[in-house]
Amino acid sequence: MTRSIETPGTAPDGGQGERGGEHGFPFIARLLHWSTAVLVLALFAVGIAMTSLGTGRWAAALHTLHKTVGVFLFVLVALRLGYRVVARLRGRWARAAGGRVIHRVLYGLLLVVPLLGLAGVSDFGGRAIYGGIELPAIWPEGAGYADTLFRSHAVLAFLLVGLVTVHICLALDEYIRQPQRAEPAQAALGGAGNSSSLPGRDVS
């Protein structure tokens, strides 16, 4: 019977452990992560388009789409936060500087930006979305702050998209570099495996 040698962060089958990297996270966590990124970028594109159109039938349709997808994003982020708490997952940032701070800022913006939009439409009186459903009012209608709320919503949305874009670029860069980092590690493990065949290493 031969005693196997395991290295820290490596599962017994040779793969990464649960916390060994992004690819060690469960599928549902990665699905929520990338779904959030896609929805943020899609909402940003729709927001730019509807603002450029100004008024008209197509602008109104894009406004309704923007509000409806925004609700889905807010619910998705809430589910993602709940999942992280239940699963006790720890966020992983590819660079050393301020990883946890960056993630907290991202989560904060993912919650605040939709709420500012909802406050704006509540003040403006345009809470209707698809299916004849009306969003809950979180701001008094006709209070006179709709423009300020929409401007704040837009400014923070630009900041959010910038951070999400940087996050995606760093994640892709890390994914591309992973095989390059894995080769030296595998070579080292191969050398360790050869040295483990010395007399006295087998335990019967």
**β-bridge mates for residue 128, sequence order:** 134
pLDDT of residue 4: 39
126 pLDDT above the threshold of 60: yes
Mean pLDDT of 96-101: 54
Cut 0.85: pTM above it: no
- Give the amino acid at 127: R
Tokens read off for 40: 């943020």
Q: Give the residue among 163, 155, 161 at the shortest CA–CA distance from 51.
A: 155
Q: Measured between alpha carbons, how far apart are the two ends of the chain, in Å? A: 5
Q: Model confidence over 141-155: pLDDT tens digits?
A: 999 999 999 999 999
Q: Which residue has the higher pLDDT, 88 or 164?
A: 164
d(CA 169, CA 20): 20
Q: Model confidence over 19-31: pLDDT tens digits?
A: 444 445 678 888 8
pLDDT of residue 132: 84
Could you give phi then psi for residue 103, rounded to 5 degrees?
-65, -40
pLDDT of residue 38: 92
Mean pLDDT of 158-177: 84
d(CA 119, CA 134): 13
**β-bridge mates for residue 16, sequence order:** 10
Mean pLDDT of 3-25: 42
What are the chain's domains? 24-180 (1.20.950)
